[in-house]
Amino acid sequence: MLNSIEEMRCNAVKIFHKGLQAVEPGSAIKRSCKLEGDNLFIGNRKYNLSAIKNIFVTGAGKATAPMAAAIEDILGENITRGIINVKYGHTASLNRIRLIEAGHPVPDKNGMQGADEILNLAEGAKQDDLVLCLISGGGSALLVLPAEGITLKDKQDTIKILLSCGATIHEINTIRKHISGIKGGRLAKAAYPAGMISLILSDVVGDDLDVIASGPSVPDPSTFEESMKIFKKYKITKNIPKAIVSHIRKGTSGKVHETPKEGDRFFKNTYNLIVAGNMEAINAARHKSKIMGYKTLVLSSMIEGETRDVAKVHTAIAKEILKT
């Protein structure tokens, strides 16, 4: 039985790595983007580079460095310049895109500096320019730019409280979008009327575009009212910094503008494409399992929760299967 268990463990590791390979950031970008002469093909779109004056690259996330390296491989000197925020240590060798290392999951000053520069780069884009936005998991913390009247410490303290009270990633990102100057569609608003293409590596169950990195390039369906309800749900309103609560309350009364919504002109020239996500990893792992002779069953692609708790559930299922 020991040899059998060791063999199964070895096979499980192989299956796991096959799933990871399917969502490798650089490969995902290169599957989705092709340059043929002056034509750049991204997803189902074609862009004639001869009609584009400048290409600017922006982005944030733990996997954004290898995504940027792949974009440089594809576009090379066609890139005018770029700025991306990544987690400390999650770097790559880049030539035309500047990389800024910053804090995750709690945002820091480096992240704020980078986000400010990214927003300025987008705001400077003209109608005949193209802004590429490379988004991956962790982008919410790494793309930090507090709204007016809110300090970085206010945001740091708020995120810590939300993480400790058990708020979901959807709830945390709803708050983030409503206390930010760049999230919740505001990056697309800044880039308009330039074209914007967001290439997104999803780590979110269901691939909700407005949730991944708090949706800097997509319309935001959430509201200030929902943000206030989240504070009340977890009974944390008194613990949240006063500037944050005040800002949210001003939003609920219409004294602060809502995030950009579906139908706003700012999204007219924006294209959002998920280059890889959880389902690609699951399907690759399932295919590898079948090749190795296993009968496969995907228990769920919709599991959410604290990693340690979910791991205990998976371990219990594995032990039960082995036992029976």
Structure confidence by residue, pLDDT tens digits, 209-267 = 998 999 999 999 999 999 999 999 999 999 999 999 999 999 999 999 999 999 999 99
Q: What share of the chain is helix, strand, coil (3-state, %, to 5)?
A: 50, 15, 35
H helix or E strand, kind and range, residue 24:
none
Mean pLDDT computed over 115-139: 98
How many helices (H) does the chain have, and how many strands (E)? 12, 9
Alpha-carbon distance values, 312 to 85, 163, 221, 315, 318 (Å): 33, 20, 34, 5, 10
Is 78 within 8 Å of 69 (Cβ atoms)? no
d(CA 21, CA 15): 10
Q: How confident is the model at residue 161 (pLDDT cuts 50, 70, 90)?
A: very high
- pTM for the full model? 0.89
Does the structure show a pLDDT above 70 at 310? yes
Q: Give the C-alpha separation, 122 to 64, whole Å.
A: 17
Taking only the tens place, the pLDDT of each residue in 69-111 is 999 999 999 999 999 999 999 999 999 999 999 999 888 999 9
Q: What pLDDT score was predicted for residue 3?
A: 53
Q: What domains appear along the chain, each with residue ranges and CATH number? A: 1-23+280-324 (no CATH), 25-145+180-222+259-276 (3.40.50.10180)
How is residue 276 written in tokens? 């890889």
Whole-number Å distance between alpha carbons of 71 and 156: 32
